[in-house]
Structure 1
């Protein structure tokens, strides 16, 4: 099976977000060689700029593994042996760590919250015939990249399609992207142009703000003058509170519908008085669902789950499903392709053609710092186009 990735830029998780060949072959790490266990390496960011996301993934994974194995740590009579490793969001460090683990007989790698890391580990997994389950990394190019790569989180296309729902239809409408003038902001512009522009028929106009900007008034006035039907805000960093305050002062909310992503709970207070006027698309927040996996995750964590706890929990469910098929990677892949299951977000399906994880997305509001569920978009409503084919 050959697949090609859709060339969409990744929306970084905080919005809303030559490889080295291992020395081991895909036949390493069998039950006999590892003492009746399948070795799983969680390689994620527990230091660096997105350490909070890696921490959430790890906590969610542990909760999901306990849930999916009913506390036994085994699947299909096989012990799941897990070790945890920090990649510091450094692709080189992640590649070196994964290469070492593959050489030691690990059959499954999971955990990446950085798209830069995930896009390096995916070909490494394919070269060595092991399973790679990417975590919160949102890059669309991860979907369909090869037979051995899956994902436990959402992807950029699903984020932007959720934003589209606030207009009903975007064909013939004007969508303005308000973002910072560097790679992160430009990636958001590219994603909106691809999903809402090229695929949706909207006119997309960027407003890119220099990183060192402290006075956002001139940029807010550009929005007022353009009168877009939708303003898609993609922002990160400590200027967020000032930016939102300026948009409110300039009465941007009176002239256009404003949409942004609901990120981790630590960011909820940055919206200030503007919070009640913003339309939020959401990957996950604790108040969105109350199904059995969501309750189990919350109980295991002992606190309200955050945005990327669900990606770790889902990854563990996928690991257990894979190990239940035995220690042969080809059988693991077959067992995951087309699999439908219930995760903390709700019903999910691994699309067999390209391993996209079809899943619901949420529409939310904020009352102060408390999120409210305003709508649920079913998986088919936000499904990305098939990337490649069998």
Structure 2
């Protein structure tokens, strides 16, 4: 789903997270920049991808990396080079662990890498961002959706969407949220509570009355909670669920008549999660960052064909990798080996990615991009997503982040 970066499949909506617990020893004392090793007219540009190749978000990381390879091929017109210099990509596994990510990023920086990309999980992105600032290296965060990445520092950018855009997309399904009743149905866990906080901050900030129904993580009978949600008669029932009993949860909502009494919204996650919705699939409104068939522009076709060469299909986070490669190539073309020049080149840049036209807002590096709403329709023995609406970048633009 919007998901969330840093949580198992079912919904990808990631909460508004605080920038806390940053590691104190992110770089060498007195460090004023990355080592210059490997630079020169014929030397390759070295790019480090620090993302999840193992761990709970390995499937997201695999999609991201495959998209990056397709995007690099597209942005360099099949040469794999920028200004005659080869782009050398090194992948490092963070396993979704911020400490492992910092260690991997520190190692790459020590080898002279001036460009890092990746961050499948929000916790990882929030640790690598200050490391990039301390060592003056460009960092392009990936699927991590936490709003705190936006405006983190001069060297940090993002190639995916952020939570604010997810929640505004959900709210668009009922129109102006002012005066509307929104109920967040989630598990009583850090993930569920974070989703309540995000919806409260975004839709509550626009005048909606937000109420949570938090279900104990160990609950086996979900009927009473589904009944409570239906009895509250919300205008929008926002479901944020991550766990093995997702199918049971959807069945409980359906049995209690939720789909007949209110508008039910959740995030569309990766393809393997589609069967989770069961018979309720056709009655759910989905907010979506990206899905197969969401667009049909030149970049999307290049993503599709580039993935096919790897034996991979378009999915939720393949876009994030593709866009990251576009950003990396543009930064290298304009900035060479200078991270400050790279960052300046990206600020205000407008380009067309698989999702459509996007702009990097210069004030805080928010990636202003289209978002989608969708439905799942039967296809063979499963489901396939179908576009309902495309929201313009301005419609779902987050507020400008204040300086940190």
TM over 0.5: yes
1:138 to 145, 148, 151: 145
Aligned to 2:224: 218
DSSP 3-state at the match of 1:305? coil
Aligned to 2:17: none
Distance 2:274 2:130 in 1: 36
List aligned pairs for 1:1-390, cutoff 5 A: 14=9, 15-17=11-13, 18-19=22-23, 20-23=25-28, 25-26=32-33, 28-29=35-36, 32=39, 36-197=43-204, 199-302=205-308, 303-325=312-334, 326-368=336-378, 369-388=383-402
The 8 Å contact of residues 129 and 139 in structure 2, kept in 1 or not, is answered as yes
DSSP 3-state at the match of 1:381? coil
The 8 Å contact of residues 347 and 360 in structure 2, kept in 1 or not, is answered as yes
DSSP 3-state at the match of 1:347? strand
Distance 1:32 1:49 in 2: 36
DSSP 3-state at the match of 1:312? helix
Deviation of 1:71 after TM superposition, in Å, equals 1.5
The 8 Å contact of residues 186 and 241 in structure 2, kept in 1 or not, is answered as yes
Deviations 1:142-180 (A, max 9, x none): 000110100000000000000110111111111000011
Deviation of 1:30 after TM superposition, in Å, equals 6.2
The 8 Å contact of residues 63 and 297 in structure 1, kept in 2 or not, is answered as yes
Deviations 1:86-121 (A, max 9, x none): 100000010011001101000011111100000000
Deviation of 1:81 after TM superposition, in Å, equals 1.4
Q: 1:289 to 1:271 in 2, by over 3 A?
A: same
DSSP 3-state at the match of 1:379? coil
Q: 1:11 to 1:108 in 2, by over 3 A?
A: closer
Q: 1:98 to 1:254 in 2, by over 3 A?
A: same
Deviates most, 281-290 or 34-43:
34-43
DSSP 3-state at the match of 2:278? helix
* Number of equivalenced pairs: 381
The 8 Å contact of residues 6 and 96 in structure 2, kept in 1 or not, is answered as no
Runs of 4+ in 1 over 6 A off after TM superposition: none
Distance 1:202 1:12 in 2: 27
In the alignment, structure 2 segments of 5+ residues that lack a partner are 14-21
Distance 1:97 1:35 in 2: 26
Deviates most, 24-33 or 35-44:
24-33
Distance 1:10 1:127 in 2: 27
The 8 Å contact of residues 349 and 360 in structure 2, kept in 1 or not, is answered as yes
Deviates most, 206-215 or 182-191:
206-215
Q: 1:145 to 1:313 in 2, by over 3 A?
A: same
The 8 Å contact of residues 347 and 365 in structure 2, kept in 1 or not, is answered as yes
In the alignment, structure 1 segments of 5+ residues that lack a partner are 1-8
DSSP 3-state at the match of 1:287? coil
TM-score normalized with structure 2 length? 0.91
Distance 2:26 2:41 in 1: 21
Q: 1:80 to 1:11 in 2, by over 3 A?
A: closer
Distance 1:104 1:333 in 2: 21
| Aligned CA-pair RMSD | 1.7
Deviation of 1:38 after TM superposition, in Å, equals 1.9
Distance 1:249 1:38 in 2: 57
The 8 Å contact of residues 322 and 335 in structure 1, kept in 2 or not, is answered as yes
